[in-house]
Structure 1
Amino acid sequence: MSAITQFHLAFPVRDLDEARRFYGDVIGCPKGRSDVNYQDFDFFGHHLVAHIAAEAAPLQDSRFDGEAVPVPHFGMNLDREAWEGLARRLKDAGVDFAEAPHLRLKGKPGQHVTMFLFDPSGNALEFKSFDDPEQTFIP
């Protein structure tokens, strides 16, 4: 596969000012272009766009490593220092975690730390950091 420099994800929100505060101020994503219907964010170097929408996709639970995880969800694989910094930032902001920061796949290939949370519009986010990033795509 060719090298990809950025992903682009557009997702629904109920209120742009609320999204700007959460993604911009709480998570720390710089804001880009915007108008009355959307707001661009620099999401750890990737192109994230919040769009006003009447409804988000309904959430369902799936299972991973013995735990329920919300689907759909999106997020980032970060290096450990950035992940720990974000976890502190979210805790300091009083964010309620759907899954508090913890270790997953302990002692197995692909071991990583993870945390799940919801934005104010109900979109599920996961941030993780692999002990060995080379194991991200192992079968």
Structure 2
Amino acid sequence: MEKKLAPFHLAIPVNNLEVSREFYRDILGCEEGRSSDIWVDFNFFGHQLVIHYKEEINKEVKSNPVDGKEVPIPHFGVVLSMDEFIQLSKKLKNKNINFIIDPYIRFQGETGEQATMFFYDPSGNALEFKAFKNIDQLFAN
């Protein structure tokens, strides 16, 4: 029996609710759910993402070196199919998203080969999107 991953719930702070709402809805294409004057729910690729207004956000940028690139921490994102990843990366390039790490292939020809990209939302939250050549290797050693 194939094990299915359960959807996650994530709540993040944003310093401008309307700009962030437009980013997640119009740039990433996330369907908007419930909302109030201080938060908005989104269907974040099958997961629940809630953006909460917070006037000041800690902007201290931290990173770890990975593959000679500085990967921002903390960050969040999702694993897409390779086709979805390619379509999203093209869409983001067409919308002039400033990538922290441009879309590229890691571990090429090895176990866990994957496409990945990083960028910030308007409030400085780092996002990573990735896709595996073989999804069965998602948790491979």
TM-score (norm: length of structure 1): 0.93
- What residue ranges of structure 1 are gaps of 5+ in the alignment? none
What pairs with 1:58-97 in structure 2 (closer than 5 Å)? 58-97=60-99
Matched AA of 1:33: R
Q: From the superposition, tell whether residues 136 and 3 of structure 1 become closer, same or farther in structure 2 (CA, over 3 Å).
A: closer
Gaps of 5+ in 2: none
4+ aligned runs moved over 3 Å, structure 1: none
Q: Is the 1:11–1:49 Cα contact (8 Å) retained in structure 2?
A: yes
- TM-score, with normalisation over the residues of structure 2? 0.91
Question: In 2, are the aligned partners of 1:40 and 1:49 still within 8 Å (CA)?
Answer: yes
Q: Is the counterpart of residue 10 in structure 1 residue 18 in structure 2? A: no
Deviations 1:7-31 (A, max 9, x none): 0000010011011110000000010
**Identity score, percent:** 42
More deviation, 50-59/118-127: 50-59
Of 103, 106, 110 in structure 1, the residue corresponding to residue 105 of structure 2 is 103
Give 1:57 deviation, angstroms.
6.4
Query: Which amino acid counterpart does residue 13 of structure 1 have in structure 2?
Result: V
Q: Which residue matches 1:138?
A: 140
Cα separation, partners in 2 of 1:90 and 1:136, compared to 1, 3 Å: same
Name the SS for the 2:103 alignment partner.
Answer: strand
Kindly tell me the number of residue pairs found equivalent between the two proteins: 138
| Root mean square deviation, CA, Å | 1.5
SS state at 1:33 partner: strand
Q: Please give the alpha-carbon distance, in whole angstroms, between the structure 2 residues aligned to 1:136 and 1:4.
A: 11
